Structure 1
Amino acid sequence: MPISPNSGPASGGNTVTITGVNLGGATSVRFGTKSAAITSNTPTQVVVTAPSGSGAVNVTVTTPGGNSNPLKYYYVGLPSEFSLSPAAGPVAGGNTVTIDGTGLSTATQVAFGANSATPTVLSDSEVSVAVPTGTAGSVEVTVTTSGGATDGLSYTYVDTPTVTAATPNSGPPTGGTQVTVTGTALDTTQSVAFDGTSAAFVVLDSTTLITTATPTADGGAGPGEIEVTTLAGTATVAYTYVAGPGI
């Protein structure tokens, strides 16, 4: 590319390299009507610090031999972030997050705290990115574009859940038993199921939730399990359906 990069922040200050022939002894480089500071110059290359500006401008190099043909350079406004979805996920990362905002078409990096990932640009108002590995807790999310970097959103890394007990751990095949499930990292629970059948639940805190057993699919007794799914994964614990007495 004869000019690299061919875009930058409206505030200027970034380094731009222009390549060509007969560029030695350059006396000025102009971005539209503004002059850029020349930092190095050879017969095939001029390196400058871009001035501030807006929109698309022509870049020309002036040497003792005259003016070069123009090259297009684009000033990019500072991006903004409006929303991030989902706003939490496993510490192992790998899940995809969508960020909505403005001025995102030149996004090159999304940082989740100290860890970065390369986004996929969907439009000027949306990018998606695979979340890098992190540690449990909230981190700031920063998007870097040609126009600069923006933050203001946060993402929460969640530990993988564990389930250690269900009390009681048995009940009738007709369901209806209130069960207290204990474990760790249960505060982002998305669903609870008894053998694949979704059940109502209430999260009390990160270690406890209460749910109501569902009936068995065939009305019969037997072993089963409770599946607790959070933003970071699924954990299970045994639950037994016990047939009622008969005489």
Structure 2
Amino acid sequence: MAPVVTGVTPNQGSSAGGTMISVTGTGFANASAVRLGGATALGLTVLSDTHITAVTPPGAGTVNVTVTGSGGTSTQNVPFTYTTAPAPVVLSLIPDQGPTAGGTTATLTGTGFTGATLVSFGPISAAFTVVSATQITVTIPPRATTGPVLVTVTTPGGVSYPVGYAYQPAAPATPPVLVEVTPDQGPLAGGTTVTLTGTGFTGATAVRFDATPAPAFTVMSNTVITATTPPGSGTVTVTVTTPAGTSGPGPLTSFTYLAAPTVTTLTPSQGPTFGGNPVTVAGSDFTYATDVRFGGIPAPFTIVSDTFLVATAPPGTGTVTVTVASAGGTSGAGPLYTYE
């Protein structure tokens, strides 16, 4: 009896061939060929009497998929459409490992994702959203066993070369541990991108700065999270929350909000063009100053207190603005310094 073909997945792919297809039906046990139109598919693998995989040959237009076995060739009309769109390319999957329970949101980056119809983790399809032609967000599907699987993206242009994802044994239900926040200072308005390092971050549901949630964060791996600071003030404790609990405080897990320095007076307010003379700068929020400039030229300086620092004037000409900068920002317009 001739084989019966009931479906082909995916049902479209690149005209250059190379698309891995899954053919379903009955009577496949002794299959000897899969053809798309008159062209024979490559890499025929009979998985069972009802399931065959094969790789499409080059082609064009819409063709019929047939299976030939010892009893003849299938006669059902099961179309496959060749397209001229380029096949998708997957460059990275972040994170690339996680628990067998799945549920983690991961990001695929690459090219040619427009019109994606399928994201597969081995034989398991995953829920996904096409963010752009170069990015897909995907929810990792659960899997019964641990170990690596191949992840592919299918579009009208074909199927991407696979990247790997490793299913890990379920971790003990212990809270995450946050070790360090880098950088640990930023402006009051927030918006600083910080990197959190530690352990147990997979499945993180929140990053908080004291009680204020970060407006955005990305779990890069079980040990790294990037987050955006919310607006705030003072020194706050950063925490990571997962279904297993919330991280505790540590010596390097705080973040300090800084106001931008202000400059109010310069003493003296003038000096020689060859520079080298000390200038006392008065103002506020100098404790964490990282840079002093005379008209854009860096000047050596010593912090005396939060309201005073002493800078050595660099060479210059004319009348210039003196600015002080820290992680909180740069001072605005203030008193001027004149080179004589």
In which range does the TM-score fall when normalised by the shorter chain? 0.5 to 0.7
After superposition, where does 1:7-46 map in structure 2 within 5 Å? none
Residue of structure 2 equivalent to 1:120: 218
Q: Compare CA radii of gyration and give the structure with the larger one.
A: 2
Residue of structure 1 equivalent to 2:290: 190
**Superposed displacement of residue 74, structure 1:** 3.9
Contact 2:220–2:226, Cα closer than 8 Å, also in 1: yes
Residue of structure 1 equivalent to 2:190: 93
**Superposed displacement of residue 194, structure 1:** 1.3
**Superposed displacement of residue 238, structure 1:** 3.5
After superposition, where does 1:51-130 map in structure 2 within 5 Å? 74-75=170-171, 76-117=173-214, 118-130=216-228
Unaligned segments of structure 1, at least 5 residues:
1-5, 9-55, 59-71
**Superposed displacement of residue 177, structure 1:** 1.4
Unaligned segments of structure 2, at least 5 residues:
1-100, 104-142, 146-167
**Superposed displacement of residue 242, structure 1:** 3.2
After superposition, where does 1:159-174 map in structure 2 within 5 Å? 159-174=259-274
Residue of structure 2 equivalent to 1:225: 321
Structure 2: distance between partners of 1:57 and 1:149: 28
Contact 1:79–1:148, Cα closer than 8 Å, also in 2: yes
Q: TM-score, normalised by structure 1?
A: 0.64
Structure 1: distance between partners of 2:197 and 2:169: 26
**Superposed displacement of residue 7, structure 1:** 7.0
Secondary structure of the 2:335 match is: strand
State yes or no: 1:212 paired with 2:312.
yes
Contact 1:57–1:73, Cα closer than 8 Å, also in 2: no
Contact 1:199–1:213, Cα closer than 8 Å, also in 2: yes
Residue identity matched to 2:197: D
Residue of structure 1 equivalent to 2:244: 147
Structure 2: distance between partners of 1:195 and 1:161: 16
Structure 1: distance between partners of 2:302 and 2:144: 59
Residue of structure 2 equivalent to 1:25: none
Secondary structure of the 1:205 match is: coil
Tell me the matched-pair count. Answer: 174
Q: Which has the higher contact order (CA 8 A, sep 6+)?
A: 1
Q: TM-score, normalised by structure 2?
A: 0.47
- Give runs of ≥4 in structure 1 deviating > 2 Å: 72-78, 236-243
Residues 33-84 of structure 1: CA deviation (Å, up to 9, x unaligned) = xxxxxxxxxxxxxxxxxxxxxxx989xxxxxxxxxxxxx9944542111111
Secondary structure of the 1:173 match is: coil
Distance 1:214 1:197, change over 3 A: same
Contact 1:159–1:185, Cα closer than 8 Å, also in 2: yes
Identity among equivalent pairs (%): 37
Q: Decide which structure has greater strand share.
A: 1
Residue identity matched to 1:233: G
Contact 1:167–1:181, Cα closer than 8 Å, also in 2: yes
Contact 2:182–2:196, Cα closer than 8 Å, also in 1: yes
**Superposed displacement of residue 88, structure 1:** 1.4
